[in-house]
Structure 1
């Protein structure tokens, strides 16, 4: 019996079968917690800035960007780490780091201490995310795997829906509760995982990817983000801005050179010879840049211009994310009659249309029901049609032994898109301490950027229809 068969035999014992539902909830709750943190912090963003007096918007943005940069860069190495030490060990390590870092975030005495602890949070999230999916694939009976993976995949949608409300309610007391709430969830999930999730032996030796390549990727993305978010302070042609952008370009060039020459690169160059994979990554990168900027811009618009409280902002944001799981289901029906590239392009076009509608109707004072809600709902419909389909289609044409790495690359592109979108938005907004009329102009510039990037994603989406008909 080969390794995979042995693993499956282990997972179909009566004891494991009895705990299958609990295992799904344990693993998905941890992944949900890591994603929830992203959306909760968007709502807490303004309060965090107010707590650390004198901190400009560009500095506070690193609470979001530091997390996304490190999470993106470590997803693939963390997946390899879990394969090497054991998926349960990788999951528990990631969960422990994430939980402890969350407590440290809640106690952070300074803004830059908070950013440092967010980096540690990202390390933990990068470890637990691929490990949780890998465990679902190996410790459950074969019949339970498809449903469990669907639940795991939709956790981000529910995190986007519940995150603003949870965050708004917690921030009413203190933004520090946004992080502290992770402690009881993390401890409960860890104890349950130790008791119920099987510790399967590893049968395939896995080499860790090029560590210098990982550092080059982190450095390049960090330099690019720094140049973008500080451009309003340094000037687009200032020496510091140009130096940061130059470091980013050189870092990307060095990363590509290492990828082409290293015997065990972070990403195999062979993946980028598959057209569907390339177009899917380009689309995900552009779409998520638009989405990351869009979500943050609406939260900031409601809190700083409409003068909504944090709980009211969270409740106002909920309707858009609620459209995502509904229209993700609709997209599955559309895919039976139309190529995936057409469905994804339609979703991106609707997303851009929602942004344009807000752009065209926004005014001060803000009228949420007529100026924000319609466009916000339409953009949510577009996200539901586009995002699940483009991510699922990315790995369809890849060889089976490359599909896991390919999926990790797509999720890395997703996180990088968030970093770029937030960086450009912060650069365009400048300071929030300006009159409402000045903020309206700044937000309009941000929404124009978001709409243009979403239209670019519409164009690239046509290239992701795979040759294969595999689901």
Structure 2
């Protein structure tokens, strides 16, 4: 729910523009609002999920690709998008990304069937990946180094705000207009940001930026989790012995080592495997993957539970789940500050325990009859606290052990792991829930909640494998050469 933080800093040798506080604030507001729209789309669709399913007469398994297609393409495109921006200009890529995102949003809103919607969502994610890293990269040159942590924190808060407003905004549009407006609302917003950005933003690029990352590697980043997701999602309905399910698992198993070999051999690999020699970077990314699976799966599960078991309207379901995201928005920056003071491992452990307590409360107390204030609300507040103490701290902890020149690529990889976790979480939700019969829905959701409670707790265990403390910072260059890591 916290915004992914991709920092694509300007070339170190580029002359810094004179600091103009008014202009810097305007650029920060504009770029942050552009990123806000991208992050809003990661949660705004959730409340419309059940309505879209009824509109197209399709099941949760098929429709889950509306969410998974976005996450898969977004994860695969983040690193190449950053390289594109470095080479061809951050402003240019930012404008192209917003324009394409608006066009694909319009196509999503006009989709005649679910397959067109899935395809448009995949293209929408590709353009969103162009906007996300460039939006912050355009901000950093406007601020002197000592003011950048505040700018980064403000930009990061927009993701939390978008996540908090997404379900409610989606519910209002779905209930009082149409689910199609969940996508169409992006069009006028993007047009306004493009018009203002064309006049206000300064072009920056890295003259030393090399060519684009290996396209085959980028394709494999998407295909491997897509094949695994297909097998996990369709296994319950097709049967685990179905040749298509077996083929999905087989393709994932075969192509994963192919991806590793290709990455080692490529001149410009899509993922720098050398970074994974840094133990902290590897373990925090594993934790990010697992926790994101729990987070995104639970987020969708709660919305669907309220609509199908408690028979809440779309709007009521969104309002019922809003306190959790609002808590995230309130504590996200405080969590990062606590991590700086007490160490990231301590804060991440507290976050995982709070998450487990909240999800466990859902599984133990929430039943077939609505008791929002006494059963659902306490659980939502606990999981919200857990998320606020986890996602932004993971983003910072992942890059803190890297040399300053690797902050940008490390942050992009961590965001990719989070998006792949989203795919895994949604796939697990569909698989664990299954197709319960009459009277079995509540028990099925209890299984879902227990699954994600355990996953959230397991995510922090990786950090207790003997290694350097998570809060440690390893730098190979002078501290003054580094931009502050995202999320701190």
TM-score normalised over the length of structure 2 = 0.91
Residue 103 (structure 1) aligned with residue 74 (structure 2): no
CA distance in 2, matches of 1:142, 1:444: 48
Q: CA deviation at 1:429?
A: 1.6
Measured on the aligned residues, the alpha-carbon RMSD in Å equals 1.7
Match of 1:159 in 2: 162
Residue 398 (structure 1) aligned with residue 402 (structure 2): yes
Please list the CA deviations of residues 262-286 of structure 1 after superposition, one character each: whole Å capped at 9, or x if unmatched.
2211111110000110111011001
- Which structure 2 residues correspond to residues 194-233 of structure 1 after superposition, within 5 A? 194-200=198-204, 202-233=206-237
Q: CA deviation at 1:430?
A: 2.1
Q: 1:171 aligns with which of 144, 160, 174?
A: 174
- Tell me if the contact between 1:359 and 1:444 (Cα under 8 Å) persists in the aligned partners: yes
CA distance in 1, matches of 2:191, 2:215: 31
Specify the SS of the correspondent of 1:39: coil
Please list the CA deviations of residues 440-471 of structure 1 after superposition, one character each: whole Å capped at 9, or x if unmatched.
12111111210111111121234561432786
CA distance in 1, matches of 2:133, 2:333: 24
Match of 1:438 in 2: 440
Residue 279 (structure 1) aligned with residue 278 (structure 2): no
Deviates more, 1:454-463 or 1:233-242: 454-463
- Tell me if the contact between 1:56 and 1:431 (Cα under 8 Å) persists in the aligned partners: no
Match of 2:18 in 1: 12
Q: 2:194 aligns with which of 170, 190, 198?
A: 190
Deviates more, 1:83-92 or 1:457-466: 457-466
Match of 2:320 in 1: 316
Please list the CA deviations of residues 12-47 of structure 1 after superposition, one character each: whole Å capped at 9, or x if unmatched.
265xx5422111111111111011011110111001
CA distance in 1, matches of 2:82, 2:24: 23
Q: CA deviation at 1:234?
A: 1.3
Residue 68 (structure 1) aligned with residue 71 (structure 2): yes
- Which structure 2 residues correspond to residues 8-87 of structure 1 after superposition, within 5 A? 8=16, 11-12=17-18, 17-53=21-57, 55-87=58-90
Residue 92 (structure 1) aligned with residue 92 (structure 2): no
CA distance in 1, matches of 2:452, 2:306: 17
Q: CA deviation at 1:227?
A: 0.8
- Tell me if the contact between 1:428 and 1:445 (Cα under 8 Å) persists in the aligned partners: yes
Task: Give the paired residue count.
Answer: 463
Structure 1: runs of 5+ lacking an equivalent: none
- Tell me if the contact between 1:7 and 1:200 (Cα under 8 Å) persists in the aligned partners: no
Q: CA deviation at 1:164?
A: 1.1
- Tell me if the contact between 1:346 and 1:458 (Cα under 8 Å) persists in the aligned partners: no
Q: 1:307 aligns with which of 295, 304, 311?
A: 311
Match of 1:338 in 2: 342
- Which structure 2 residues correspond to residues 372-387 of structure 1 after superposition, within 5 A? 372-387=376-391
Structure 2: runs of 5+ lacking an equivalent: 1-9, 480-487
1:66/1:201 CA distance change after superposition, 3 Å: closer
CA distance in 1, matches of 2:30, 2:15: 20
1:301/1:5 CA distance change after superposition, 3 Å: same
Q: 1:369 aligns with which of 367, 373, 376?
A: 373
Residue 325 (structure 1) aligned with residue 329 (structure 2): yes
- Tell me if the contact between 2:362 and 2:446 (Cα under 8 Å) persists in the aligned partners: no
Please list the CA deviations of residues 35-85 of structure 1 after superposition, one character each: whole Å capped at 9, or x if unmatched.
1011110111001101102x1110010110000000001100111111111
Q: CA deviation at 1:145?
A: 2.6
Match of 1:261 in 2: 265
Residue 294 (structure 1) aligned with residue 302 (structure 2): no
Residue 352 (structure 1) aligned with residue 356 (structure 2): yes
Match of 1:148 in 2: 151
CA distance in 2, matches of 1:334, 1:146: 15
CA distance in 2, matches of 1:209, 1:112: 29
- Tell me if the contact between 1:280 and 1:461 (Cα under 8 Å) persists in the aligned partners: yes
TM-score normalised over the length of structure 1 = 0.95
Please list the CA deviations of residues 183-206 of structure 1 after superposition, one character each: whole Å capped at 9, or x if unmatched.
110000001110000123542232
Match of 1:467 in 2: 472
1:27/1:418 CA distance change after superposition, 3 Å: same
Specify the SS of the correspondent of 1:335: helix
Greater share of helix residues, 1 or 2?
1
Specify the SS of the correspondent of 2:402: coil
Please list the CA deviations of residues 395-422 of structure 1 after superposition, one character each: whole Å capped at 9, or x if unmatched.
1111111111000000000000000000
Q: CA deviation at 1:3?
A: 5.7
Q: CA deviation at 1:362?
A: 1.7
